[in-house]
Structure formats: structure tokens, C-alpha cells
Structure 1
């Protein structure tokens, strides 16, 4: 079954949790964290999102972000 479209309200903060598959480790080395942060910044610039804060754990990520526009 297909996933339903996400409910997005522009300019309203959202709490996002991203976990590794089967809660496996996703960050092994320090370079993995740096790579993720760089890619996150590029994605936010592309999709006009603002990250207020983030927490990167070894097997999951917490983001508090605000989308600035309606999704395409």
C-alpha cells in the first residue's frame, strides 16, 4: 500500500525522528556525522527548510525544523 502524502503546514515547526533500518547504527565514524550535516544543509537550502536544532545519535536523528513553503 502506498504511503499517504505528508501533512505539511508551512512556517510551522515539525519534530522529525529518523532511525536506522532495524534501529541499526547509522553513524560509525566522526566523518559520518559531518557528511550527514553537510547533506542536511544542502537539502534544507534546496527545499527551503529551517533547522532549529538537531541531535545526532549513533542509530537515530532528531530534528526540529520548519518548512518555509508548500511541498511540491
Structure 2
């Protein structure tokens, strides 16, 4: 079943979690981390969100983001 669209309140933080399938590794090399961060930066610029904190673990990404007003 598909998830419902995310309910976003401008100016309120969103806790974001991304995990690999069955908690398998999302990143395997240093270049994977750099690639992800570059894509994240471009997506935030395009969609008007700010990332205030994040952690990249081999099988998970967690972050706090704020959407523009």
C-alpha cells in the first residue's frame, strides 16, 4: 500500500528517515556519500527546503528539514 502524502507545515521541522530495503547498505563507497549529498543539495535548492542536521550511516540516512514559508 502506498504511503499517504506527507503533511507539511511551513516552518515546522520534519524528521526524515531513509533506509535500505531490509536494512541493507545504502552506501558502499565514499563516492556514494558524496553523490547523495550533492543530489540532496540540488533537491533542497529546487524545492525550497533547508537541512538543519543529518547523519549518513551505511544503511540509513536521518535528517531534520524545514520547508520554506
User: So what's the TM-score if we normalise by structure 1?
Assistant: 0.89
Task: Please state how far the C-alpha of 1:3 moved relative to its aligned partner.
Answer: 2.8
Q: Aligned residue pairs: how many?
A: 69
Which residue is 1:12 aligned to? 12
Which residue is 2:32 aligned to? 32
Which residue is 1:49 aligned to? 49
Stretches of structure 1 that go unaligned for 5 or more consecutive residues are: none
User: So what's the TM-score if we normalise by structure 2?
Assistant: 0.92
Q: State the 4+ residue runs in structure 1 displaced beyond 6 angstroms.
A: none
Stretches of structure 2 that go unaligned for 5 or more consecutive residues are: none
The CA RMSD over aligned residues, in Å, is 1.1
